């Protein structure tokens, strides 16, 4: 007689669907004249057969359907006619097979989920490391690089197009990575806009080209838009067989973080870089002391009138002289912003700047407006305006000589605070400038709502090998709008003549960038100014 309890017990082996089903079906083979059971996926048109007896009567079938699956019983070809009782048993057997199959798939899904990112179906971090361990048995790891990729400004895509479209963009990016990877390579998705990869070194260039400019299509209101996703990449050249998680993922991830904070696109994780990053990690502990000991210094980068070559302004940029090594602000400013100590650095920079202006004026030099950067966190201090004004007064500097650079805000509350700040500055005759213009999502409303004197177009707009028509339209309309609103426009990061001419053609007269002058320490800056004029010879012309 059909032993239900035993049948269920045999089915309960969840490790191997085939084994458990065949074992359970063997048990009922005599009682119900079973030849074969098929599980057919109606969506994927896939078919699994569990053959118990080769001698099958294709005509005698009983079906049970559940979800996307049909479970089909085939009778053994033995001339026996099934009676009602047997048909009932077969129905129960099929239902139980279906329940077991469903349970098996659920367990498999849960097991897979441990290793797979559910959004893109690429391996997650666990899956990524597991795949690499598997590969290590067959490939020479020293021939590979590991990569950590973060998509630049992805928050902006979510804000502009919506999070569903954002998910689609991530999926397209993931598919591009999947299509690129060969069998001996692995790509993974850590969630959000972070990806990892393990790629053969000889394909490094191709891989970088793919991830730093990856076109995806975003659909919105039935309109398809092409958006280029820019992956910011940190990578590590793997050198030994014994590569650890740290080397494969953490080092590449730190290099990526470094690239982001120093506004670079691709950064290699070298030992030297890792040492620098580690040494900066504890800045919160030593910051006050380092500041008091004069280890933070001001670099100056002039701003130019493109046509005349005249210097029209200068910006103060912070550097940290740590044990004789110069650390760029991208490494320590994010940490000081987190700890809230950035205000001390910003006011120190302003004070140093005011002292210098005071001295230059006493020596009879002409002064061009000088900019100082403020962090968004500084606005949490309700007396920041008073403190700025007091410093300027203390050194007898004219307010029109000072420009305060601020960045676009992300939320309404911050926006109100920023508007209040800008108005107070204006009332006191201090100019304001919006830095990194175009990288926030509120750019255009900034022009309308804030009474700023200047915008600085972010260097990502022109920092490309080729400038195309849509760059021209975007930058051109920003410049037009600003001009009509009587706002000065400066473009930052100008590195070559092509970019300078491009800007001139669009009506942007002022620029800052390596083409003209890198940020310089005070003495070199003074020497530069002496050579090119402006502050020293009252002419202000760059002699080319
Ligand atoms: P920023 O205010 O946008 O400054 C411009 C950055 O671009 C500077 O980097 C400058 O050295 C760099 N740069 C200038 N011309 C070119 C060019 O032609 N090509 C390229 N590739 N880069 C160019 P730096 O000095 O490393 O400063 C990075 C950022 O750190 C600054 O970006 C600013 O946001 C922040 N920062 C610097 N000093 C201070 C400060 O005293 N306070 C605050 N809150 N932030 C600061
Ligand atoms: Ca700036
Ligand atoms: Ca900037």
pLDDT value of position 302? 96
Give the pLDDT band of residue 442 (cuts 50, 70, 90).
low
CA-based R_g, the chain, Å = 33
Average pLDDT over residues 362-380: 93
pLDDT value of position 533? 61
What SS3 state is found at 169? helix
Average pLDDT, the chain: 89
Reference 273, options 319, 328, 339; nearest CA is 328
Q: Which structure tokens are listed for 6?
A: 């035993």
The sign of the dihedral angle between the CA atoms of 515, 521, 522, 527 is negative
125-269 and 279-535 in the same fold: no
Q: Which structure tokens are listed for 511?
A: 């620029």
Give the pLDDT band of residue 537 (cuts 50, 70, 90).
very low
Q: Which residue has the tokens 């197009």?
A: 161
Average pLDDT over residues 238-261: 88
What single string gives the DSSP state of each residue in 203-216?
GHHHHHHHHHSEEE
pLDDT value of position 231? 95
Give the Cα separation of 96 and 160 in Å (integer): 50
260: number of CA atoms within 13 Å, CB side? 20
pLDDT value of position 293? 96
pLDDT at 516 over 80: yes
C-alpha 131 – ligand 1 centre gap (Å): 40
Q: How many residues does the chain have?
A: 544
Q: Which residue has the tokens 């005249």?
A: 310
Residue 196 phi, psi (nearest 5): -130, 160
Of the ranges 290-299, 427-436, 504-513, 528-537, which one carries the lowest mean pLDDT score?
A: 528-537
Give the pLDDT band of residue 534 (cuts 50, 70, 90).
low
381 lines ligand 1 (CB under 6 A): no
Atom 21 of ligand 1, residue of closest alpha carbon: 493
Q: Which among 373, 403, 518 is the best mutation to test ligand 1's pocket, defined by most ligand atoms within 8 Å of the CB?
A: 373
Give the Cα separation of 404 and 418 in Å (integer): 12
267 lines ligand 1 (CB under 6 A): no
Average pLDDT over residues 177-186: 97
- Max mean pLDDT among 221-225, 234-238, 528-532 falls in 234-238
Is the overall model pTM greater than 0.85, yes or no? no
342 lines ligand 1 (CB under 6 A): yes
Residue 194 phi, psi (nearest 5): -110, 130
CATH of 125-269, one of 3.30.70.270, 1.10.340.70, 3.30.40.10, 2.40.50.180: 3.30.70.270
Reference 122, options 199, 179, 165, 202; nearest CA is 179
Give the Cα separation of 168 and 219 in Å (integer): 9
Q: Any long-range contacts for 48-56 (C-beta under 8 Å, 24+ apart)? A: 50/18, 50/21, 50/22, 50/25, 52/22, 52/25, 52/26, 53/29
Q: Tell me the helix, strand and coil percentages in the chain, rounded to 5.
A: 45, 25, 30
Q: Which residue has the higher pLDDT, 36 or 460?
A: 36
Give the Cα separation of 88 and 16 in Å (integer): 27
pLDDT at 542 over 50: no
C-alpha 372 – ligand 2 centre gap (Å): 7
Q: In 10 A of CB 123, how many CB atoms? A: 21
The CATH number given to 279-535 is 3.20.20.450
The DSSP output letter for 250 is I
Q: Which among 262, 329, 494, 520 is the best mutation to test ligand 1's pocket, defined by most ligand atoms within 8 Å of the CB?
A: 329
The structural domains of the chain, with segments of one domain joined by +, span 4-115, 125-269, 279-535
514 lines ligand 1 (CB under 6 A): yes
Q: Which among 263, 313, 510 is the best mutation to test ligand 1's pocket, defined by most ligand atoms within 8 Å of the CB?
A: 263
Chain centroid to CA 480 = 31
Give the pLDDT band of residue 464 (cuts 50, 70, 90).
low
pLDDT value of position 353? 97
Give the Cα separation of 27 and 83 in Å (integer): 19
pLDDT at 530 over 90: no
């Amino acid at each position: 007689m059909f032993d239900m309890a035993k049948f269920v017990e045999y089915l309960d082996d969840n490790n191997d669907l085939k084994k458990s089903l065949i074992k359970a079906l063997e048990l009922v083979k005599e009682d119900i004249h079973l030849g074969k059971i098929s599980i057919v996926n109606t969506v994927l048109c896939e078919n699994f057969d569990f053959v118990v007896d080769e001698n099958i009567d294709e005509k005698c079938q009983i079906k049970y359907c559940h979800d996307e699956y049909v479970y089909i019983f085939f009778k053994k070809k033995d001339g026996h006619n099934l009676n009602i009782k047997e048909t009932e048993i077969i129905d129960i057997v099929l239902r139980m097979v279906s329940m077991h199959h469903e349970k098996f798939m659920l367990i498999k899904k849960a097991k897979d989920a441990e290793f797979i990112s559910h959004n893109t179906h690429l391996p997650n971090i666990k899956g990524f490391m597991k795949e690499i361990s598997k590969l290590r048995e067959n490939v020479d790891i020293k021939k590979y690089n590991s990569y950590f990729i973060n998509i630049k400004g992805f928050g902006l895509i979510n804000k502009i197009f919506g999070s569903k479209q954002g998910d689609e963009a991530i999926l397209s990016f993931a598919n591009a990575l999947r299509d690129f990877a060969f069998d001996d390579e692995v790509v993974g998705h850590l969630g959000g806009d972070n990806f990892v990869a393990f790629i053969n070194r000889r394909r490094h260039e191709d891989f970088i080209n793919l991830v730093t400019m990856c076109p995806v299509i975003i659909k919105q209101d039935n309109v398809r838009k092409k958006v280029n996703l820019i992956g910011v990449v940190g990578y590590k050249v793997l050198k030994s067989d014994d590569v650890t998680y740290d080397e494969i993922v953490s080092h590449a991830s730190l290099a990526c973080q470094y690239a982001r904070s120093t506004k670079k696109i691709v950064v290699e994780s070298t030992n030297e870089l890792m040492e620098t990053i580690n040494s900066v990690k504890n800045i919160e502990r030593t910051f006050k002391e380092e500041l008091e000991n004069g280890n933070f210094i001001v670099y100056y980068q002039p701003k130019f009138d493109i046509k005349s070559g005249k210097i029209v302004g200068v910006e103060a940029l912070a550097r940290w002289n740590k044990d004789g090594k110069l650390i760029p602000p991208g490494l320590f400013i994010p940490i000081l912003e987190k700890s809230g100590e950035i205000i001390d650095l910003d006011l120190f920079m302003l004070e140093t700047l005011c002292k210098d202006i005071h001295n230059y004026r006493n020596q009879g030099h002409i002064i061009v407006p000088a900019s100082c950067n403020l962090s968004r966190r500084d606005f949490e201090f309700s007396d920041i305006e008073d403190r700025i004004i007091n410093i300027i007064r203390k050194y007898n500097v004219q307010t029109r000589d000072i420009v305060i650079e601020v960045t676009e805000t992300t939320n309404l509350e911050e926006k109100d605070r920023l508007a209040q700040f800008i108005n107070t500055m204006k009332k006191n005759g201090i100019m304001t400038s919006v830095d990194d213009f175009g990288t926030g999502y509120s750019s255009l409303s900034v022009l309308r709502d804030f009474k700023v004197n200047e915008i600085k177009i972010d260097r990502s707009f022109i920092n490309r090998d080729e400038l195309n028509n849509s760059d021209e339209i975007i930058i051109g309309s920003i410049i037009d709008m600003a001009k009509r609103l009587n706002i000065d426009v400066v473009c930052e990061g100008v590195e070559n003549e092509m970019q300078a001419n491009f800007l001139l053609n669009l009506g942007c007269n002022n620029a800052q960038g390596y083409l003209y002058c890198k940020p310089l320490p005070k003495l070199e800056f003074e020497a530069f100014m002496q050579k090119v004029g402006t502050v020293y010879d009252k002419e202000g012309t760059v002699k080319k």
